[in-house]
Amino acid sequence: AYEICACLVGSEMCIRDRYQRRVRDTEHNKSKMLASFRSSCRTSATALRRQMSSLAVEERGSFTVLSMQRAPANLLSRAFMIEMRETLAELDANPACKGIILRSAQPKIFSGGLDIMALHAPPRDELALFWTALQDMWMTFFGLGTPTYAAINGASPAGGCLLAMCCDERGMLANAGVIGLNETHLGIVAPEIMFAQPFARLIGERAAERHLQLGTLMSPSQAQQLGLVDELFDTEDELMAHAVKTLEQYARLPADARAMSKRVLRGPLIRRMEQEREGELRMVIDLLLSDTVQANIGAYLASLKARKKLSLIHI
């Protein structure tokens, strides 16, 4: 009887052990399947974001090329500006990234500037969100520690010019089209901190005063003469090669000292934006929603629509 009981107990323990092992194996397999599913979801989501992204990110050695690809004119929508800010911040936090080249994947256009459709009769709260996204993007870009080069391979009016002015260096194709700040043509004043002051830093107070009033869109040669762009090139291959060569010069320097030197000169404008952004926001919203400016924007959109160029609007 004792042997029978021992045998039964042993069998019960064996069955229980097998059951527990099966349960553990099942839970382990479930965990592996769940982990695999989550990884697949993350991979799919990342691929989808890249497919839908307005920016293509390409590593070239220790440098990163950001190609704007929001067809047809890389207009700065709120989503585009948020993506630009987040991408730049991620690259700036990556010690392996020694420099950033900004270019366009669209033919003949670097960036057509702010998406004027977002400025035409918008609700006040939506306009506030739009302009806040612009302020956030500008503060990140203008103060970026990582060296940046604007490879201007197409027309760059207004907000497109702002992107270029955020960079440390600017090269442009000799046949790229125009560049400049043309806001006055729509009855708009180029905001001081993000537009007018960086413009004056590059071309001088007197020239900036004149060209801001006239809303001048300059040729590449005129822009180079004034200092708005540094170099002109005949081909995009030459432009990109020079961008890499220039960033190599920056990369050879001690990164902290170089970045701090940049902030010495750019820091005051960034601190002003931090302190005055709410006041600027109210002023800009009041100006953009005024009857006069809205009438000008409406007439401009109508003229573009008549010429079937609505997708290339800019400000």
According to DSSP, residue 194 is labeled I
- Cβ(273)–Cβ(138) below 8 Å: yes
Q: How many CB atoms lie within 10 A of CB 96?
A: 8
- Cβ(162)–Cβ(195) below 8 Å: yes
Q: State the Cα torsion 299-200-103-50 to the nearest 10°.
A: -70
CA atoms within 13 A on the CB side of 68: 36
- Cβ(293)–Cβ(188) below 8 Å: yes
Please calculate the CA angle 152-277-206 and round it to the nearest 5 degrees. 55
Please calculate the CA angle 53-57-60 and round it to the nearest 5 degrees. 170
According to DSSP, residue 61 is labeled T
According to DSSP, residue 155 is labeled B
Paired with 64 in beta bridges are 59, 100
Please calculate the CA angle 175-177-181 and round it to the nearest 5 degrees. 145
Beta pairing class for 179-180 and 217-218? antiparallel
Catalytic residues: 114, 159, 182-183
The SS3 of residue 182 is coil
The amino acid at 93: A
- In whole angstroms, what is the distance from residue 193 CA to residue 269 CA? 6
| Sign of the torsion angle spanned by Cα atoms 225, 227, 231, 234 | negative
Beta pairing class for 55-60 and 63-68? antiparallel
The SS3 of residue 97 is coil
